[in-house]
Amino acid sequence: MTRKDILRLLRDPDAEELRKRAEKALLAAKGSHVHVRGLIEFSNICRRNCLYCGLRAQNSALRRYRLSQEEILAAAAGAIAQGADSIVLQSGEGSCDPAWLAEVVAELKKHEGIAITLSVGEGQARDYALWRNAGASRYLIKHETASPALYARLHPGHKLGERIRALLALRDLGYEIGSGFMIGLPGQKLEDLAGDIALCRALRVDMCGAGPFIPQADTPLAGEACGSVALTLRALSVLRLALPWANLPATTALASLDPEKGQTAGLMAGANVLMPSFTPPRAAVQYRIYDHKNRVGMANAVRAIEKAGRSHGLRPR
């Protein structure tokens, strides 16, 4: 499947036909099961200044927090008790001491059969290795946009190549790698989206999270328009056809633009992962990546999976 093929699929006028093809590919490659990850947004501290993100270092309107090790472990235990099969520890970049995070990972590893995923931005190779040795087995680091020009504009002082090299370094250390990108970024073209999907396919990523761009009031992109829900669902279906092996989440951003049906529609378009948040509510309100962020909890996840007619292994309380 070339970038041209991908572009043709993205342009396919029959959205329902595309969705059905993706659903068939999903069931054939991955089955009906939806994986549920417990997301813990343990710190909103970040050293970078991505133009689109409310956690950017220059945003002084945000009260910064970092959960304690005890708070993280308690949140994780709650997620696991409810049937989460993996814990995702997420924060801005450079939010904490690497050795401190390695201790958290090692403690979490005591829960048998639970995979630990890190989503803490670009770091030193020795820290990736430290966390890997502590027991983390997956790493999410979205490429955000595969257009080198758009990437440079949105990430002052950074290049797309560095991002791709980080993904490859993580894979070399034995991590399963997850990338992802935003849909509807200011200045993004459909050709760019085809490039995003082609890049994920070329990298053979294990996971790919694609969600709509949503402006945040305290960022330079505050006045821009949201990404389209319809285009996000279409991109999910094309991702499923282009990367049949991959785990694809229905993102929280999608659920934020369409709280009623977003997650269900994402699953029906080809997604097979949900990531409900177990961040303590007092912290979660400060994890303001974009405006009107929906809080997707375990109950929402169960409802979305059942509405989509799929299966899960959850034990909701």
Residues that bind ligand SF4 (CB under 6 A): 46, 48, 50, 53, 55-56, 92-93, 121
Site for ligand 5AD in 245-304 (CB under 6 A): 253, 289-290
Q: Which of 179, 216, 247, 277 binds ligand 5AD (CB under 6 A)?
A: 216
**123 vs 314, beta carbon nearer ligand 5AD:** 123
Residue 182: CB minimum distance to ligand SF4, A: 10
Q: Which of 214, 235, 242, 298 binds ligand 5AD (CB under 6 A)?
A: 214
Q: Is residue 176 classed exposed, middle or buried when 0-12, 13-18 and 19+ CB atoms within 10 A define those classes?
A: middle
Site for ligand 5AD in 124-143 (CB under 6 A): 142
Looking at 13-21, 100-108, 211-219, 262-270, which segment touches ligand 5AD (CB under 6 A)?
A: 211-219
**3 vs 56, beta carbon nearer ligand SF4:** 56
Q: In sequence order, what are the residues at sequence separation of 6 or more whose Cβ sits closer than 8 angstroms to the Cβ of residue 198? A: 2, 3, 6, 146, 242
- Gap between the Cα atoms of 199 and 205, Å rounded: 9
**227 vs 280, beta carbon nearer ligand 5AD:** 227
Task: Provide the token pair at 14.
Answer: 């029959």
- Gap between the Cα atoms of 312 and 299, Å rounded: 12
- Tallying the residues shown for the chain, one arrives at 317
**278 vs 290, beta carbon nearer ligand 5AD:** 290
**179 vs 264, beta carbon nearer ligand 5AD:** 179
CA distances from 91 to 1, 43, 88, 111, 153 (A): 34, 5, 10, 22, 23
Binding-residue total with ligand 5AD (CB under 6 A): 13
- Where would I find the beta strands (DSSP E) of the chain? 35-43, 86-91, 115-119, 138-140, 176-183, 207-212, 273-274
Binding-residue pattern over the window 164 to 183 for ligand 5AD, x denoting contact by CB under 6 A: ----------------x-x-
- Where would I find the beta strands (DSSP E) of 4-84? 35-43
**50 vs 236, beta carbon nearer ligand SF4:** 50
Single-letter amino acid code for the residue at 187:
G
Residue 251: CB minimum distance to ligand 5AD, A: 8
Largest CA distance in the chain: 51
Choose the one of ligand SF4, ligand 5AD, none that binds residue 121, judging by a C-beta under 5 to 8 angstroms depending on kind: ligand SF4
Single-letter amino acid code for the residue at 33:
H
Binding-residue pattern over the window 81 to 110 for ligand 5AD, x denoting contact by CB under 6 A: ------------------------------
Is 46:94 a contact under the CB 8 Å cutoff? yes
Residue 261: CB minimum distance to ligand SF4, A: 26
Nearest to 224 by CA among 193, 197, 266, 184: 184
By CB under 6 A, name the binding residues for ligand 5AD. Answer: 52-53, 142, 144, 180, 182, 211, 213-214, 216, 253, 289-290
